[in-house]
């Protein structure tokens, strides 16, 4: 059975997730760690729980979700994996990060990109890929069907949705993807978003002001 833990990182209060199961294998998703204390907290958790990081995943490649990509690579030798359609989004970070006050250690590029659909396996856990652009050009969500966990990135938040005013954003596309790809999941699936508290599919179907 997979477990998920989140760490709130960087000035954007981004949620970095570690997903792990009884095998001890874990995946790091959207590493936003920026300061040394933030980096140390994540490393300590992995060490104290005898976890073995086997994959680094990005839902999408905005600065607040990739600040720790290079750190994770240096620490564990893992290159990120994301959809090829996020490559330009990642490449742009180098130019705009300084203007936002970030010291950005350039992320390595993937050895292999993720497809729009399919599965990722680690330990005894299967993650299903859900392609849900709209906040960013090629955003992916990671769905653990068995444990009813959705790592949703910046698509759906508690009572809100991802912003669509950044390059590659598209409001109607985002709404369409939420309605056709996320709201078709079971109501009791827990959504772990890129920012803010967790929620459930059922709660958002009933209460999200953008979608009700």
pLDDT digits (tens, 9 = 90+) for 123-151: 999 999 999 999 999 999 999 999 999 99
Q: What is the CATH number of the domain that holds 123?
A: 3.60.15.10
Q: What is the pTM of this model?
A: 0.98
User: What's the gap between Cα 56 and its chain centre?
Assistant: 10
pLDDT digits (tens, 9 = 90+) for 63-102: 999 999 999 999 999 999 999 999 999 999 999 999 999 9
Give the integer Cα–Cα distance in Å for 46 and 18: 9
Classify residue 212: in a domain, yes or no: no
- Write the DSSP symbol of residue 86: G
Classify residue 57: in a domain, yes or no: yes
Classify residue 104: in a domain, yes or no: yes
Domain that holds residue 56: 3-207
Classify residue 44: in a domain, yes or no: yes
Classify residue 113: in a domain, yes or no: yes
Domain count, the chain: 1
Give the integer Cα–Cα distance in Å for 30 and 136: 14
Classify residue 92: in a domain, yes or no: yes
């Amino acid at each position: 059975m997979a477990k998920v833990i989140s760490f709130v990182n960087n000035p954007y209060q981004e949620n970095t997730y570690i997903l792990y199961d009884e095998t001890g294998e874990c995946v790091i998703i959207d590493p936003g760690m920026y300061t040394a204390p933030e980096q140390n907290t994540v490393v300590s958790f992995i060490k104290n729980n005898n976890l073995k990081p086997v994959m680094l995943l990005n839902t999408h490649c905005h600065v607040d979700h990739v600040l720790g990509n290079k750190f994770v690579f240096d620490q564990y030798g893992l290159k990120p994996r994301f959809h090829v359609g996020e490559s330009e989004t990642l490449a742009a970070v180098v130019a705009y990060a300084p203007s936002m006050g970030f010291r950005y250690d350039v992320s390595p590029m993937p050895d292999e990109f993720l497809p729009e659909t399919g599965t990722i396996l680690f330990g005894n856990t299967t993650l299903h890929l859900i392609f849900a652009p709209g906040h960013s050009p090629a955003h992916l969500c990671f769905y653990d069907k068995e444990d009813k966990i959705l790592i949703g990135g910046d698509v759906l938040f508690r009572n809100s949705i991802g912003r669509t005013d950044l390059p590659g954003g598209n409001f109607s596309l985002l709404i369409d993807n939420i309605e056709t790809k996320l709201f078709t999941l079971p109501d009791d699936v827990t959504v772990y978003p890129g920012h803010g508290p967790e929620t459930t599919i059922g709660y958002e179907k009933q209460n999200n002001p953008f979608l009700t």
